Each structure stands twice: as structure tokens, then as C-alpha cells.
Amino acid sequence: MSQSPTYQPLRLSVIIPALNEAQVIARAIESVYDRAVRQRAAVESLRPSCEQSLVLHEVLLVDGGSVDDTCSRAKRLAQRSAYKNFRIVHLPSTQRTCRANQQNWGARLAQGDILLFLHADTTLPFQYPQVIARTLGLIQTNTSGESKARMRHPALGAFSLEFTESSWVLRLVAWGANLRSRLFRAPYGDQGIFLRKQTFQDLEGFPADWPLLDDVALGHRALRRFGWGNACRIAPEHVQTSARRYQKLGVLNTVLLNQCILLGFALGVPVDALARWYRAPRTLIRDALLRTHMHENLSPAVTLRLRRPSPTEAFTVAREMQAHHRAWISIPSIFHQNGAAQEKPTASA
């Protein structure tokens, strides 16, 4: 009597980049371990013909030089008996502190076959290893002694986005982000991007030294290499991420600012200039307009607001600039000039 074939499950490495995240890091780590344990219990109850394809192997917290209690709180969590194979690693001082470099460093040290990049303010859904396995086409079923993949194999995957704070406005924002990710095959990093380690290496990882938009750039690399149909798949299960930036700047201001950054990225604006805009939008808008005397094309009322514009007011400025073809065309070059004149940011948001 022939025995059923056995399968060696693939190993999952969870990589968490962190920089001064003491207030939220515990929830992220707890979700990694507690919700993977529930997944193991669920798999044991399945019929014998179904094999577990992915198991949590390790968790790497990649610290970018935190000055708060991020590492100490993580170490206390690591002392729990159920939290095995948890490591805290530090980004080398020779590398620029940014999330892209932290994630690349974690991927370099990871021992797993599958990599999951999780932001420190994001929590995972229940049974997430099973979700990852299904999304990447790793789940195998036995049929007459043969294994068959249940679905096609995308290059990378991500979860759907949901905010921890609940409001109809934030639900609308999350819906738009999920729609954009599915249409353009470029998920945001706070959606929990996962892929095979070999695929990550083939794509050359995240762009080194990028202060932001490294997640979008990775999606674009996958799109160019594997094509629209095989680049990315978004799982219906949701991760929950913090809406703290939306609460700080306001939902409308943050949405408009994010769209302006994506537009600038598409137009070729340097990412360092976009990072300054992301961190201090009022400063960049004021410098871009007043230094080049573009405010001469604007109405007096709008010119007065340039001293302290909000992102929403910046759109009023942009609409008036659009009426002046010369000013509108020169926007990318202005940001480029500002990017060359100012110092590079030293830490990721």
C-alpha cells in the first residue's frame, strides 16, 4: 500500500522596520505570533488530504536607530515562551536610515523562503500564513497522489487595507487605496507586501536610500518584469493600520498631499524632494512658489496665503497656476531645483 506523499512547508520570515515606534510596536508583534498560532490550530483540524504550505519561521525587527523604548518593549515581548525565533537587528551605521534600507537589510538576514514586510503600526489578519499561501499559489492539494497548485503564481501579494480608527471617511480612503492597488498592481507598504525571497532578489529589492515610495517602486519593478497579469495579487483579507497621519493633517489634506506626491513621482520629481514635501508640505510649497516669483501670476489673496499654506490651499494655488502655461510646465523643474539646494532627509517617516 503506497503512502501519501509528504510536503515540507515553506518558511515565512516577517520583517518589521521600526524607528521610534514604542507606542505601536507591541500590537504589531503580538498580531504576528498570536494570529499565526491560531492558523496552525486551524490547519490541524483540516482533512488529511490538505497540507500546510507555509509556517511562521522567524520575526526580524529592523531598528533604524530608535531613541525611545521601541527595542526594550520588543525585547520584553520576545521573552514570552510562545514568541520563538524573534530577533532585533540594527541597520548598519554606514547606511542611510530609511524604511527601504531597513527592509532590504532584514531581507538579507532572513532565512525564510517567503518574506512579509510589516509596518510597525499595522496588524495582521487571522490565519495570515494561510492567506499568504493561497494568494501566492502555495497551497497544495492531494489528488490521486499528485499535487496541484490551486491558483496562478503572482510575483508578489498584499493584503487589503483597513484603518484601525473607524469612520466613513477613512473607509472611503481605504476603499480608494485598495482599488488603486488592484488597478495599478502597486500596493502600499502598509498593506503588508509579501513575496518569495528569490523573487525579491530577482527584483533587486527596494530601491536603496529611497526615503519614501519604495513600496510603489517595487510594484513597478514587478509590473515591468512579470507583466500586468502576474505582477501582484491583493488578498481580500484586511490588515489594520493606523490613521495617525490622517488625524494629524486632516483626511482631505492628507489625501490631496498623497496624490500630489504620486503625481510628482510620475512626472519624475526626485524622491528626496517629494520626501520634504511629505514631511513639511507648507515649506516646500512656499519655497517652490516664492523663490521663483511664480506668485506674480497669482491673485493677491492667494499670494498672502503662501506664507503658511495648507495642502488644500495649495490646490487653489495649483488651479490658478494651471491658467498660466509657463508656470505649470515648470513645476517639475522647480521641485528638482529645490531638491538639489536642500539637504537630504536623514530618517524615514
The rounded distance, in Å, linking the Cα atoms of 194 and 196 is 7
User: Of the candidates 36, 148, 47, which has an alpha carbon nearest to the alpha carbon of residue 86?
Assistant: 36
Render 98-124 in DSSP notation, one character per residue.
SHHHHHHHHHHH---SEEEE--TTEEP
Give me the residue label for grid cell 491673485: 299
Q: Is the dihedral of CA 160, 155, 183, 274 positive or negative?
A: positive
Summarize the confidence of residues 72-89 as an average pLDDT: 87
User: Which residue ranges make up each domain of the chain?
Assistant: 10-242, 249-341
Q: Which residue has the higher pLDDT, 78 or 347?
A: 78
* 294 pLDDT above the threshold of 60: no
- Tell me what pLDDT residue 131 has: 95
Amino acid in the structure at residue 105 = W
153 — pLDDT class (breaks 50, 70, 90): confident
* 79 pLDDT above the threshold of 50: yes
Q: pTM of this prediction?
A: 0.76
Q: Which residues contact 60 (CB under 8 A, 6 or more apart)?
A: 13, 14, 15, 16, 87, 88, 89, 106, 109, 110
* 2 pLDDT above the threshold of 90: no
- Tell me what pLDDT residue 273 has: 85
Q: At what angle do helices 128-135 and 25-44 cross, to 10 degrees?
A: 70
Residue 64, all three cell numbers: 533604524
- Consecutive H or E run containing 136: none
Which whole-number Å values give the CA distances from 36 to 182, 195, 257, 292, 327, in the listed order?
Answer: 26, 17, 36, 55, 54
Q: Which residue has the higher pLDDT, 349 or 306?
A: 306
Residue 260, all three cell numbers: 500630489
User: Which CATH number is associated with domain 10-242?
Assistant: 3.90.550.10
Q: Return left, alpha or beta for 269; rule: phi > 0 is left, psi -120 to 50 is alpha, else beta.
A: beta
Summarize the confidence of residues 56-75 as an average pLDDT: 94
* 321 pLDDT above the threshold of 80: no
pLDDT tens-place string over residues 173-206: 999 999 999 998 889 999 999 999 999 999 999 9
Residue 54, all three cell numbers: 507555509
Summarize the confidence of residues 260-285 as an average pLDDT: 80
- Tell me what pLDDT residue 322 has: 52
Q: Which residue has the higher pLDDT, 122 or 245?
A: 122
Amino acid in the structure at residue 223 = L
Q: Is the dihedral of CA 169, 172, 176, 178 positive or negative?
A: positive
Render 138-152 in DSSP notation, one character per residue.
--EEEETTEEEESS-
* 141 pLDDT above the threshold of 70: no
340 — pLDDT class (breaks 50, 70, 90): very low
